Amino acid sequence: MTPAELALPIADVALAARLRERMTKVEAALFEHASSRAPYVTEAARHLLAAGGKRFRPLLVLLAAEAGERPDAEEVRTAACVVEITHVGSLYHDDVMDEAALRRGADSANSRYDNLVAILTGDWLFAKSSELTAQLGPEAVRIQAETFTRLVEGQILETVEPGPDDDPLQHHLEVVAGKTGSLIATSARYGALFSGAKPEVVAALTEYGELVGTAFQLSDDILDIASDSEESGKTPGTDLREGVPTLPVLMARASTDPADARLLELLDPARSDLTDDELHAEALDLLRKHPAMDEARAYVVARAQEAKALLTALPEGSVRSALEAFADVVAVRTA
C-alpha cells in the first residue's frame, strides 16, 4: 500500500481525501517510530513495515475518529501508530511460530535474518508501541495491556489442541477473537475515544470492531479454501495442507451425512496426510463443493450484519456509511 491509497472504498469524496491525508501522516510516523539508535535494529524493525499491508487497523482508528469532535487530534494519529506497530510486532512472532518463508510477498524476518532476530524485533516493536501508548495516558495503557493479553492468549491457544470435552469450533473462535478481534476492537475504540466521541459511541464502536475483526479473520479461513491464487495472492489450501483448523473445515468435520465419509477421512490427520498433493487436491475439491462453505460464508456475513446493527449509535451520514461498507467488504473480501 502506498500512503495515498485506502484499503477500502470510501464513497464520500471529502471523507476519503481526509483519510488519505491522515494515513499519509500515519505512514510517515510509523517509520519514524520504528527507528533505533542501532541501524541493524531499525532495518529489521522496518522490514515488514516496508513490505506494506492493508493498514486496516490504523485506517479504522482514523475512520472511527470521525465519530468524535476532534478527528484530527494528535492522539488519534498516535493511537493509529500504536495499533499498527503492535500488529506488525505480532507478525514477527507469527512467522517464527509458523516457520513462514514469506510475508506480504517479501522474505519473512525469520527467513531474512533468523528466529532470534525476528523474536527480539517483535519484542522491540511491542516495546515501542508501549512507549507510544504511555503518551496517551493511563486509560490507554490499561486498554493496551488488556488487548495485548488477549492477543498473546489467542496466539498461545492456537498452539493448543482443544480438550476432549471442548468444542473445536468454539476453541477456534476464541483464538480468532484473541488474535485478531481484540486489536481491531481496540483500533475502533481508540479512534472514537481520542476524538472525543460520546461514551455510548465509544462502546458501540468497540463492539463493532470486535465483530469486524472476527469476520476479517474468518474470511481468511474461507479464502484458504475458495480463493483463486491469481486474484487473492494466496496459495489455495495452505492451511488445509498444514493441518491448521479453519472455519469451513471445522464445520465440515461436524457433518453426520454418510455421503461425507470420504471427506471426513481426508480431514482426519490420523487417517490422511494432506501434504500429499493428490490427497490435498481431492480434499480441496470436496470442500469447495461442500455445504460447509456456504455455512461458513453465512456465519461471517452474520457477524458483519451484527457489527452494522451497532452503528445506529452514530448519526446517519458518510461516516456511518463508510463503517457499514468496511464491515461488508471485510465479510466478502477476495484478498
- What would the pLDDT profile of 102-148 be if each residue is shown by its tens digit? 554 556 666 666 788 888 888 999 999 999 999 999 999 999 999 99
Of 265, 295, 270, 259, give the one whose Cα is nearest residue 283. Answer: 265
| Integer Cα distance of 281 and 75 in angstroms | 50
Mean pLDDT of the chain: 90
Which secondary structure element, helix H or strand E, spans residue 107, and what is its range?
strand 106-107
Q: Contact 234/227 with Cβ under 8 angstroms?
A: yes
158-199: pLDDT as tens digits: 889 898 889 999 999 999 999 999 999 999 999 999 999 999
In the chain, count of helices (H) and strands (E)?
Answer: 17, 2
pLDDT of residue 227: 79
Find, among 91, 17, 18, the residue nearest to 54 by Cα: 91
Q: How do beta strands 106-107 and 102-103 pair?
A: antiparallel
- Other beta carbons less than 10 A from residue 230's beta carbon: 6
pTM: 0.91
Name the β-bridge partners of 107: 102
* Three-state SS at 304: helix
Q: How far apart, in whole angstroms, are the C-alpha atoms of residue 87 and residue 72?
A: 22
Residue 175 DSSP SS3: helix
Predicted confidence band at 230 (pLDDT cuts at 50, 70, 90)? very low
Question: Domains in the chain, ordered, with CATH?
Answer: 10-197 (1.10.600.10), 217-334 (1.10.600.10)
Instruction: Output the DSSP codes for 85-104.
Output: HHHHHHHHHHHHHHT-SEET
Grid coordinates belonging to 316: 446517519
| pLDDT for res 47 | 82
Q: Which three cell numbers stand for residue 181?
A: 478481534
Contacts of 275 (CB under 8 A, 6+ apart): 241
